[in-house]
């Protein structure tokens, strides 16, 4: 008796947030536990109502650095309402027995402004790289110079910063123009309860 093959699906590179009423690109991959070739397999993306909104075929070559993750890039339409949208990805035909996977995206207004953010350590004044910045649904990360640029829409948001062994209080921010922000974080010991964060 032949053991049943297992095929898993993955979705990555979805932007956060996506723009209401516009298309956004994602990558979809499929991998067989047995390592069998899945090139040409049809992948479908359905919205919350079950309607297929995007479809395509897996490429002929595996994702670089993997043995058998066949993938494709698709453009998916975002809903016109600003909220969270959920999608389901399936591999056809159903006889392949691939387990569907789901992903969600935050849907926001079209970004209109640029926020240039510089983050330093409060006491040493050293630039902090790798700081995760969240302004509402908009995300960014500082480089080695402690700087990041985020494109954001008009509105009132909560600005949050995360970095291992550093803390900063969330703060409200009103966005209505291009702006430069200079922020600081406080260094704390690794064992401090707020020193680590989980995405």
Residues 180 and 117: their CA atoms lie apart, in Å, by 6
The pLDDT-based confidence of 81 (bands split at 50, 70, 90) is: confident
Closest listed residue to residue 117, CA positions, set 86, 164, 163: 163
Domain that holds residue 133: 113-187
What was the pLDDT predicted at 3? 54
Residue 177 falls inside a structural domain: yes
The pTM of the full predicted model, rounded to 2 decimals, is: 0.68
The pLDDT-based confidence of 33 (bands split at 50, 70, 90) is: confident
Do 14 and 102 lie in one domain? The reply is yes
Digit-coded pLDDT (tens) for 93-134: 876 778 899 999 989 888 999 999 999 999 999 999 999 999
> Which of 108, 129, 164 is the last residue in one of the domains?
108
What was the pLDDT predicted at 72? 97
Do 160 and 69 lie in one domain? The reply is no
Do 81 and 47 lie in one domain? The reply is yes
What was the pLDDT predicted at 1? 36
> How many Å separate Cα 43 from the centre of its chain?
20
Q: What domain count does the chain have?
A: 2
Average pLDDT over residues 184-196: 73
Do 152 and 87 lie in one domain? The reply is no
Do 52 and 140 lie in one domain? The reply is no
Residue 192 falls inside a structural domain: no
Is the CB of residue 36 less than 8 Å from the CB of residue 20? no
Average pLDDT over residues 47-69: 93
Digit-coded pLDDT (tens) for 14-26: 988 899 999 999 9
The domain spanning residue 174 has which CATH number? 2.60.40.1120
The domain spanning residue 74 has which CATH number? 2.60.40.1930
Residues of the chain with pLDDT > 90, as a percent, come to 72
Residues 13 and 28: their CA atoms lie apart, in Å, by 9
Do 11 and 83 lie in one domain? The reply is yes
| Residue 150, both tokens | 């985020």
The yes-or-no verdict on residue 183 having pLDDT over 50 is yes
| Residue 26, both tokens | 């994602």
């Amino acid at each position: 008796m032949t053991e049943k093959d297992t095929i898993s699906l993955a979705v990555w590179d979805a932007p956060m947030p996506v723009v209401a009423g516009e298309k956004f690109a994602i990558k979809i991959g499929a991998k067989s536990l047995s390592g069998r070739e899945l090139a040409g397999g049809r992948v479908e993306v359905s919205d919350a109502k079950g309607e297929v909104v995007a479809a395509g075929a897996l490429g002929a070559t595996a994702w670089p650095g993997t043995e058998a993750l066949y993938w494709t890039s698709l453009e998916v339409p975002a809903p016109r309402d600003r909220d969270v949208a959920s999608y389901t990805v399936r591999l056809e035909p159903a006889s392949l027995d691939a387990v569907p996977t789901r992903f969600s995206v935050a849907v926001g207004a079209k970004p209109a402004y640029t926020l240039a953010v510089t983050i330093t350590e409060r006491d040493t004044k050293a630039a902090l790289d790798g700081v995760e910045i969240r302004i509402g649904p908009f995300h960014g990360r500082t480089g080695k110079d402690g700087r990041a640029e985020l494109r954001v829409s008009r509105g009132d948001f909560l600005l949050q910063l995360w970095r291992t062994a550093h803390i900063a209080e969330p703060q409200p921010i009103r966005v209505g123009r291009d702006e430069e922000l200079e922020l600081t974080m406080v260094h704390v010991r690794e064992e401090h309860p707020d020193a680590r964060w989980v995405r």
